[in-house]
């Protein structure tokens, strides 16, 4: 069975530098323009406390965008498993934008079509450029294991701290 890969986000490591946004737009459109990036950093600094959360298409197993697209413009790439838009067929109706729980796709006024992450054909640019190790491109069945290891490590640290305090 061919195991495809997915982009995972380590939110704690993201510093909000937006390098991912810049290189995504540069690769796809030849210009530096975060508002046209298919990965997006949602940043807040209320009262001085900074949070930066990367939002990227989750390439859902049951994508609402694909199911509900009235023009059947969205399909699954058999190689990468990415959910991709056929810009020839897209009518720019924004159904995909409205139904996505993450707000991942957007309709670019310049093209009039839906723009979403297509994993750069299987070699995502943002992952290669993230300077802070917040993005990874991992086989889909490994993702769960990595999370468990991260979680277990944190639990272990907590136990050790408590142990020291005693």
What is the signed CA dihedral for 142, 62, 81, 69, rounded to 10 degrees?
-150
Please identify, using beta-carbon distances, which residue of 110 and 148 lies nearer to another protein: 110
- CA dist 91 and 100 (Å) reads 17
Longest dimension (CA), the chain: 66
Please identify, using beta-carbon distances, which residue of 17 and 64 lies nearer to another protein: 17
What is the signed CA dihedral for 9, 11, 12, 15, rounded to 10 degrees?
100
Q: Any contact of residue 50 with another protein (CB under 8 A)?
A: yes
Annotate each residue in 15-44 with x if it binds another protein (CB under 8 A) or - if it does not, as one string: xxxxx--xx-xxx-xxxxxxxx------xx
Total residues in contact with another protein, by rule CB under 8 A: 31
Please identify, using beta-carbon distances, which residue of 45 and 141 lies nearer to another protein: 45
Residue labelled with tokens 């199911």: 67
Contact residues toward another protein (CB under 8 A) are 12, 15-19, 22-23, 25-27, 29-36, 43-50, 52, 129, 131-132
């Amino acid at each position: 069975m061919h195991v495809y890969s997915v982009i995972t986000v380590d939110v704690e490591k993201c510093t909000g530098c937006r390098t991912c946004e810049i290189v995504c737009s540069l690769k796809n459109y030849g210009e530096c323009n975060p508002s046209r990036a298919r990965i997006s950093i949602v940043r807040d600094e209320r009262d001085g406390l900074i949070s930066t959360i990367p939002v990227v298409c989750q390439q859902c197993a049951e994508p609402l965008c694909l199911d509900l697209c009235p023009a059947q413009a969205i399909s699954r790439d058999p190689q990468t498993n990415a959910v991709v838009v056929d810009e020839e067929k897209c009518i720019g109706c924004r159904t995909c934008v409205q139904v996505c729980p993450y707000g991942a796709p957007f309709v670019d006024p310049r093209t009039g079509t839906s723009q979403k992450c297509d994993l750069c054909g299987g070699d995502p640019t943002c992952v290669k450029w993230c300077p802070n190790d917040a993005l990874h491109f991992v086989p889909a069945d490994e993702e769960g294991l990595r999370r468990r290891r991260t979680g277990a490590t944190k639990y272990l640290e907590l136990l050790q701290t408590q142990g020291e305090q005693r």
